[in-house]
Amino acid sequence: MVVNIKNLVKRYNELLAVDNVSLSIKEGEIFGLLGPNGAGKTTLINTILGLTRFDEGSIEIFEKDFKKHEYDIKKEIGIVPQDLAIFEDLTAYENVDYFGRLYGLKGNLLKERIEEALNFTGLQERKKDFPKKFSGGMKRRLNIACAIMHHPKLIIMDEPTVGIDPQSRKMILESVKKLNKMGSTVIYTSHYMEEVEEICSNITIIDHGRIIAKGTKEELKAMIAFEERVTIQLSAISFNLVDDIKKIDGVKECLLQENELLVVSVRGAGNLSRIIDEVGGKGIEIKGLNIEKPTLEGIFLILTGRSLRD
Ligand SMILES: Nc1ncnc2c1ncn2[C@@H]1O[C@H](COP(=O)(O)OP(=O)(O)OP(=O)(O)O)[C@@H](O)[C@H]1O
C-alpha cells in the first residue's frame, strides 16, 4: 500500500473536518478524492503530508508510520498544492532549480531533471520568463514541474485545474495520466466529477469530512444503476409537487432544485406517465425532460440531496 489511513479524525475546534476516514491507496493507482468545496479534501491531504496535525487515527505512507519516518517519506512525495507555491521573482527555470536543490539534486542530474520537467509541462520555451508574465494555467504547470522533477513515487494534486484555461486543463489531465504510466501513484482531488471520471481508477467521494462512497467508477455507477432517473424542467413549481410525486408507486426520491425536478424510481417502475400527469395536473408546463444515465454527480446527488457544485 502507498497510503493506508485508519480512522482519521481532525477537528478545528467544534468543526469535524475529517470524520473517521479510513482509506487505502495501492501502488499505480490514480486515486480520485471527489467532494464539494469545504468537504475536507485539503484538510485530509494536509494531514497525509504532515502539514496539519490530526486528533485521532493513523497514517502509513509507503508502509511506514508517517510521524516516525517523515523525512524519508517526504522525499518520495511531490505535492501540487491548491494555492500556488512558486516564486514570482525567480524565472521558471530558477523555480524548478530551487525545488530540485531542496530535494538534494545537483550537478548534471539536476540540470537534466529541470529540462525534463520544463519539457514535460510545455514550458521549455518560457524558461527564462518570470511567472508574473504567465497565465494561471502556466503558473499551475510550473507548479507541477517543481513537484515532479525529483521523480516522486507519490504525487498529490489538490484541485490543480481550478480557475485555469481549457488548454492548460487538458494538458494537466494528460500529464497526470502520463506520470501515472511512468510509475507514479497519484492522489487527485477535485470537485469536478467529469475530471475524476476521466482519469481516476479509484474514487472516494467525501462530504462533510466523511466518506460517503468509494470504489471504481464502474462500481460507483453500479450503485445507482438499479435505479431509473428522470429530470424534468418545469415552467413553475407548486407547493405540494414533491410530496405528491413521492407518493407515486416506485418513486424512491424526488428532489427539486430551482425549476428542475429529479425523480429517482426503482428499475422497471413504469411510472413516467404518472409523474408527467402529476406535474400536468398542477397546471405546470414541462419545458424539458431527460432520462439520465448514471454519473458520479448523480451518485453525489442521491447520497446527499445536493449537487457537487452547490
Ligand atoms: N485552518 C482552519 N481552521 C478552521 N477551519 C478550517 C481550517 N481549514 C479548513 N477549515 C474548515 O474545514 C472544512 C474542510 O475544509 P477543506 O479546505 O479541507 O475542504 P475542501 O474540500 O478542500 O474544500 P475547498 O475545495 O473549498 O478547498 C471547511 O468547513 C473549512 O471551513
Looking at the fold, whether 88 and 202 belong to one and the same domain comes out as: yes
Check if 41 has its Cβ closer than 6 Å to any atom of ligand 1: yes
Cβ of 213: how many Cβ atoms within 10 Å?
Answer: 20
Find the largest Cα–Cα distance for the chain: 78
- Taking the CA of residue 191 as reference, the ligand 1 atom at the shortest distance is 25
Residues 101, 196: one domain?
Answer: yes
Lowest average pLDDT, out of 34-48, 219-233, 250-264, 274-288, goes to: 219-233
65 and 136 inside one domain: yes
- Residue 126 C-alpha to ligand 1 middle, in angstroms? 34
- For residue 310, being part of any structural domain is answered with no
Average pLDDT over residues 13-36: 95
Q: Is the pLDDT of residue 293 over 90?
A: no
pLDDT band at 306 (very low <50, low <70, confident <90, very high): confident
Q: 17: Cβ below 6 Å to ligand 1? A: yes
| Residue finishing a domain among 156, 186, 216 | 216
Domain boundary (216, 247, 276) is at: 216
Domain boundary among 216, 242, 275: 216
Please give the distance, rounded to the nearest whole angstrom, from the Cα atom of residue 35 to the centre of ligand 1: 12
Strand partners, 202: 31, 216
Between CA 77 and CA 92 the distance in angstroms is: 21
Ligand 1 centroid–CA 12 distance in Å is 9
Do 230 and 161 have their domain in common? no
Q: Are residues 72 and 129 in the same domain?
A: yes
**Contact call for residues 31 and 186 (beta carbons, < 8 A):** yes
Asked if 85 and 161 sit in the same domain, the reply is yes
Ligand 1 centroid to Cα of residue 71, in Å, is: 26
- Quote the number of domains for the chain: 2
Q: Are residues 118 and 184 in the same domain?
A: yes
Tell me, in angstroms, the distance from the centre of ligand 1 to residue 37's CA: 8
- Kindly give the distance from the C-alpha atom of residue 7 to the centroid of ligand 1, in angstroms, as a whole number: 19
Count of Cβ atoms closer than 10 Å to residue 220 Cβ: 24
| Per-residue pLDDT, 303 | 78
140-195: per-residue pLDDT in tens? 999 999 999 999 999 999 999 988 888 889 999 999 999 999 999 999 999 888 88
194, 251: one domain: no
Cβ of 182 closer than 6 Å to ligand 1, yes or no, is: no
Q: What is the ipTM of this complex?
A: 0.95
Ligand 1 atom, smallest distance to 39 CA: 21
Q: How many CB atoms lie within 10 A of CB 109?
A: 11
Evaluate: CB of 180 within 6 angstroms of ligand 1.
no
Average pLDDT, the chain: 91
Q: What is the CATH number of the domain that holds 125?
A: 3.40.50.300
Give residue-wise pLDDT tens across range 112-128.
999 999 999 999 999 99
Which residue type is seen at 214? K
Do 146 and 27 fall into the same domain?
yes
Please tell me the predicted confidence (pLDDT) of residue 290.
92
**234 and 173 housed in the same domain:** no
Amino acid found at 198: E
Statement to judge: residues 101 and 34 lie in one domain: yes
The answer to whether the CB of 309 is under 6 A from ligand 1 is: no
Mean pLDDT calculated for residue range 288-309? 79
Q: What residue numbers bound the domain in which 205 lies?
A: 3-216
* Average pLDDT, integer, range 77-105: 93
pTM: 0.80
Residues 170 and 22 in one domain: yes
- What stretches of 114-197 adopt beta strand conformation (E)? 154-158, 185-190
Q: Which atom of ligand 1 is nearest to the CA of 206?
A: 21
Q: Is residue 73 a contact partner of residue 79, using CB atoms and an 8 Å limit?
A: no
* pLDDT (average), residues 243-272: 91
Give the cell for residue 130: 518570470
44-87 pLDDT tens trace: 999 988 889 999 999 999 999 888 898 889 899 999 988 888 99
Cell of 92: 521558471
